[in-house]
Amino acid sequence: MSSTRQIPCLVWKEHKRVCGPAANPFLWPLLTQQEAEDAVANKDFRVRDPDAPDFPSLSENLQDLGMSASIVDDVIRQLATPAPLPLPSTDALKQILIGAVRYFEMQRLDEIQVATRQHVSTPMHLVTVADHNVFGYPLEITPLHSIVRHGFLIRHAVLRAAERRMLVGDLSPSFILKSVDALNWYAQDMLGNVDVDEETADAVRTVLPQQLGQLRSAIQAIMRR
């Protein structure tokens, strides 16, 4: 079996959440019930970062996006269901709010990870942070967003699998490195089949190889442990 056909073994657990109708455009999967309850319980958490003393809590951010404090808990819980939100909204707003919750929860989870040296975040948390850092809160998911989000998901899912030694069968570290090269080619091939302007295409050609190159370096560091 070729390396490109075996790649899904590494990313399927996460990638299956954005397959089918959610693949293009790449839509954030609903929060899990546990994600929603954790977010409600920690909505007032603030990052302890001297370089960002005014970094808001999740609750403050959602209020900045236009909702009252009295409905924050209900809104977060509704992001784990397909039901309409308890406020005037659109599908685009629901996607923005799902991304916002995971982005802010990642700040809290990162502090836990630093303290315990144990992974408690998911690749989807990491993709949300990377996406937010590039695009902010996009009102429309374009082909560009979908390509870059898939690239982020591939990077973080493969890296997490390597970090946790979640390798099966004959999927050796050397195979993973070959997969990174194959995925780099795959990302470029995707770009060639999406109608974007040349300036956007150049940006993606820069971002995706950088992401996959960082993945390759990280896996090489794991192999040296």
Cα–Cα dist 217/220, whole Å: 5
Q: Helices 173-192 and 198-223 meet at what angle, rounded to 10? A: 180
pTM of the model: 0.77
Residue type, 91: D
Q: Angle CA(48)–CA(52)–CA(54) in degrees, nearest 5?
A: 90
pLDDT of residue 179: 65
Which residues are CB-neighbours of 191 under 8 A, at least 6 positions away?
147, 201, 204, 205, 208
Cα–Cα dist 155/149, whole Å: 10
pLDDT tens digits, one per residue of 95-133: 999 999 999 999 899 888 888 888 788 888 988 988 888
pLDDT tens digits, one per residue of 139-169: 888 777 887 787 788 777 777 776 665 444 4
Cα–Cα dist 151/139, whole Å: 20
pLDDT tens digits, one per residue of 162-221: 666 544 444 566 666 666 666 666 566 555 555 656 766 676 667 666 766 766 676 667
pLDDT tens digits, one per residue of 37-87: 999 999 999 987 777 778 899 999 999 888 899 999 999 999 999 988 877
Q: What is the CA radius of gyration of the chain?
A: 18
Which residues are CB-neighbours of 219 under 8 A, at least 6 positions away?
158, 159, 162, 173, 176, 177, 180
For the chain, give the secondary structure using H, E and C: CCHHHHCHHHHHHHHHHHCHHHECCECCCCCCHHHHHHHHHCCCCCCCCCCCCCCCCHHHHHHHCCCCHHHHHHHHHHCCCCCCCCCCCCHHHHHHHHHHHHHHHHHHHHHHHHHHCCCCCCHHHHHHHHHHHHHCCCCCCCHHHHHHHHHHHHHHHHHHHHHCCCCCCCCCHHHHHHHHHHHHHHHHHHHHCCCCCHHHHHHHHHHHHHHHHHHHHHHHHHHCC
| Token pair recorded at residue 197 | 């302007």
